[in-house]
Chain A
């Protein structure tokens, strides 16, 4: 029997900590299986580029440079599916802060050379191109990545969970940090998918998966006020991972 042609898959990194691609290498020996199932054409951390165009592209990181935007527009034309991976690619991430101060910060940090930098406010991929799928998380969950790639290889877009982290806490039988310990947990408005990693370990959810579709932000803000949080504390709490606009 003739071997079926393998789908070409590329992994690309924009402005980021490289954590989403690292999370993929964290499937350890199963990574070799991925190389068997698909034809990996780009994965800079592991190999030199093959120079071959991918059919599916997974992109981590936010856009801060004009060349990153150019690269993405070109990539968009070449691929069937373009997937944004991780919170930097989906919302700008933890680094998308201080839109107004950015030039001043650059000048402070690089007093001699800041004017040569064309580094802009971190933007999510969907600001520049059409994205087929967003895999949220900081970092992404490798199990969910595998779920997604399995769907894409069959030509189907996977569903993203549309319920809050609270559901996962309930399933694990966790004590509610918001209700019983008065911790400002973002679980009630944050998309599930991580298995409630932080609340299961005594820390309130920071919201790195972003809001789920029916999230009631106003109601949670009222609860935070009731806990005695100041407006500044509430703002800081909400803008750690959530999308901000310039």
Chain B
């Protein structure tokens, strides 16, 4: 039996491989981050406190959790927010994706591509690569700080609007930095060597949101580029099962199929909507033809370019035709009983929040479905396929390749600990 704590992922996870006489007996991905029971913590709390609590599910996805919880609560309360509020939240989410992808791709995954143990080692041989990674990550954090009030556990998105707007000069400076980084990021990423890994784990099913544009909010759920499902109908096709003693529940599509969510699923479902540099880079890479799990890293590279282009676009749109004020916008509403749901694309994939409220606005129950939990069964399936293959090829040291595979999913393990049966 071999076990290894997976390094260079967010949170604590372990792969447990049982091998007997050179044959694979079993393989399991253990999520070791203990349960924190978030869906229970919010019961009996006022809706206004919910975003503050649930953003603490995960530090790296805190902007996603905060924004989607606000959207689900607004759905329950029948609130529509003005366009500039929506744009400001979208800008925040793009900041979150930039920070998360830059951290994962440059600092956690790329050391594998250069056969280095960590970004510290990588910085000795390829300092420009690590510097660029930190600069992209820094821009993502700057957006989250400027728009959200803090890089982690943001402050401004509230039910009904945004509690404050950033100074216009700060937004212009963010757009400027995004433009500066565009060309440099493209030139750097196109020269990243490819991983030599056989066999490449294949994506069989993939799931993401899909709307009119390439976006992290809005639209329906799209399965394998073909089948559409409304967000409120999610639990008709996706079911959870609990496999003890893991703290995470497994989710299957139609009770049998594992599937992938995240940057690659988004690119596979929405590639025709990718314009500009991101679109041409996506075609150059050919990642939609190969459908390899490892291509998730490169799908993140495409999305880094997408976010840089989009950030400038959103800032321009926000600042146009508007007398700028740093005062927030929160629309008037009265609490009422209701149920609400919202889904967004977090950096690691589909994230869904559902709440029901009593007539004074206190939470009756909540349900949170996170991308890492959705990916768990697919991670185990591809691990099994890959371990079996490596053993047949007579490879003795499985750990590095298996770790690399898990890392390609960019699991965010603190996210994956609080699923509730519905």
Instruction: For the complex formed, measure the closest distance between the CB of B358 and the CB atoms of chain A, giving whole angstroms.
Output: 13
Question: Contact at B152–A139, with CB atoms within 8 Å?
Answer: yes
Kindly list chain B residues whose C-beta atoms are within 8 Å of the C-beta of A240.
Answer: 49, 52-53
Q: Which of B56-64, B173-181, B334-342 contacts A (4 or more CB under 8 A)?
A: B56-64
Question: Contact at B134–A203, with CB atoms within 8 Å?
Answer: no
Q: Which of A29-37, A149-157, A185-193, A211-219 contacts B (4 or more CB under 8 A)?
A: A29-37
B151 close to A (CB within 8 Å)? yes
Kindly list chain B residues whose C-beta atoms are within 8 Å of the C-beta of A32.
Answer: 120, 123, 130
Cα-based distance from A206 to B164 in the complex (angstroms): 16
Cα-based distance from A233 to B5 in the complex (angstroms): 43
Instruction: For the complex formed, measure the closest distance between the CB of A79 and the CB atoms of chain B, giving whole angstroms.
Output: 20
Kindly list chain B residues whose C-beta atoms are within 8 Å of the C-beta of A113.
Answer: 242, 244-245
B36 close to A (CB within 8 Å)? yes
Main secondary structure of the interface of A (DSSP, over half): loop
Kindly list chain B residues whose C-beta atoms are within 8 Å of the C-beta of A111.
Answer: 242, 421
Kindly list chain B residues whose C-beta atoms are within 8 Å of the C-beta of A55.
Answer: none
Cα-based distance from A206 to B131 in the complex (angstroms): 36
Given contacts A19-B152, A240-B53, contact A49 B45 (CB under 8 A): no
Interface residues of B in 398-422 (CB under 8 A from A): 414, 418-421
* Cβ proximity bits B55-92 to A, threshold 8 Å, 1 near / 0 not: 01111101000000000000000000000000000000
Instruction: For the complex formed, measure the closest distance between the CB of B93 and the CB atoms of chain A, giving whole angstroms.
Output: 17
Q: Which of A39-47, A126-134, A220-228 contacts B (4 or more CB under 8 A)?
A: A39-47
Question: Contact at A45–B57, with CB atoms within 8 Å?
Answer: no
Question: Contact at B41–A202, with CB atoms within 8 Å?
Answer: no
A91 close to B (CB within 8 Å)? no
B137 close to A (CB within 8 Å)? yes
**Interface centre among A17, A22, A109, by most B CB within 10 Å?**
A17
Instruction: For the complex formed, measure the closest distance between the CB of B363 and the CB atoms of chain A, giving whole angstroms.
Output: 11
B263 close to A (CB within 8 Å)? no
Chain A: CB-nearest residue to B242 = A112
Kindly list chain A residues whose C-beta atoms are within 8 Å of the C-beta of B131.
Answer: 29
Question: Contact at A236–B53, with CB atoms within 8 Å?
Answer: no
Query: Quick one: which of A119, A202, A203 contacts B35, CB cutoff 8 A?
Result: A119
Chain A: CB-nearest residue to B403 = A48
Query: Quick one: which of B33, B150, B242, B247 contacts A197, CB cutoff 8 A?
Result: B150
Cα-based distance from A29 to B138 in the complex (angstroms): 9
Question: Contact at A203–B156, with CB atoms within 8 Å?
Answer: yes
Q: Which of A1-9, A93-101, A158-166 contacts B (4 or more CB under 8 A)?
A: A93-101
Instruction: For the complex formed, measure the closest distance between the CB of B347 and the CB atoms of chain A, giving whole angstroms.
Output: 13
Question: Contact at A236–B117, with CB atoms within 8 Å?
Answer: no
Instruction: For the complex formed, measure the closest distance between the CB of B214 and the CB atoms of chain A, giving whole angstroms.
Output: 27
Cα-based distance from A98 to B324 in the complex (angstroms): 44
A246 close to B (CB within 8 Å)? no
Kindly list chain A residues whose C-beta atoms are within 8 Å of the C-beta of B150.
Answer: 139, 197
Chain B: CB-nearest residue to A237 = B49
B9 close to A (CB within 8 Å)? yes
Cα-based distance from A139 to B49 in the complex (angstroms): 17
Question: Contact at A22–B5, with CB atoms within 8 Å?
Answer: no
Kindly list chain B residues whose C-beta atoms are within 8 Å of the C-beta of A48.
Answer: 7-8, 117-118
Question: Contact at B40–A101, with CB atoms within 8 Å?
Answer: yes
Cα-based distance from A26 to B99 in the complex (angstroms): 9
**Interface centre among A16, A23, A109, by most B CB within 10 Å?**
A109
Question: Contact at B49–A23, with CB atoms within 8 Å?
Answer: no
Cα-based distance from A25 to B36 in the complex (angstroms): 24
Question: Contact at B158–A119, with CB atoms within 8 Å?
Answer: no
Given contacts A109-B39, A201-B163, contact A19 B62 (CB under 8 A): yes
Cα-based distance from A198 to B148 in the complex (angstroms): 10
Interface residues of B in 320-344 (CB under 8 A from A): 327-328
Given contacts A28-B137, A32-B130, A203-B155, contact A44 B46 (CB under 8 A): no
Given contacts A28-B141, A138-B56, contact A46 B119 (CB under 8 A): yes
Question: Contact at A109–B420, with CB atoms within 8 Å?
Answer: yes
Question: Contact at A116–B414, with CB atoms within 8 Å?
Answer: no
Cα-based distance from A61 to B24 in the complex (angstroms): 36
Cα-based distance from A102 to B34 in the complex (angstroms): 13
Name 10 interchain pairs, CB-CB below 8 A, sorted by A. Answer: A23-B151, A44-B5, A101-B40, A108-B420, A109-B39, A138-B56, A139-B150, A139-B152, A139-B153, A240-B49
Please name the 5 residue pairs, one residue from A and one from B, whose CB atoms are nearest each other, closest first. Answer: A19-B59, A113-B244, A202-B163, A47-B118, A201-B164
- Extra pairs beyond A17-B56, A95-B36 (5, CB < 8 Å): A28-B137, A29-B131, A106-B37, A203-B156, A240-B52
Residues on B lying within 8 angstroms of A by beta carbon are 5, 7-12, 33-41, 45-46, 49, 52-53, 56-60, 62, 103, 107-108, 117-120, 123, 130-131, 134-135, 137-138, 141, 149-153, 155-156, 158, 163-164, 242, 244-245, 247, 327-328, 414, 418-421
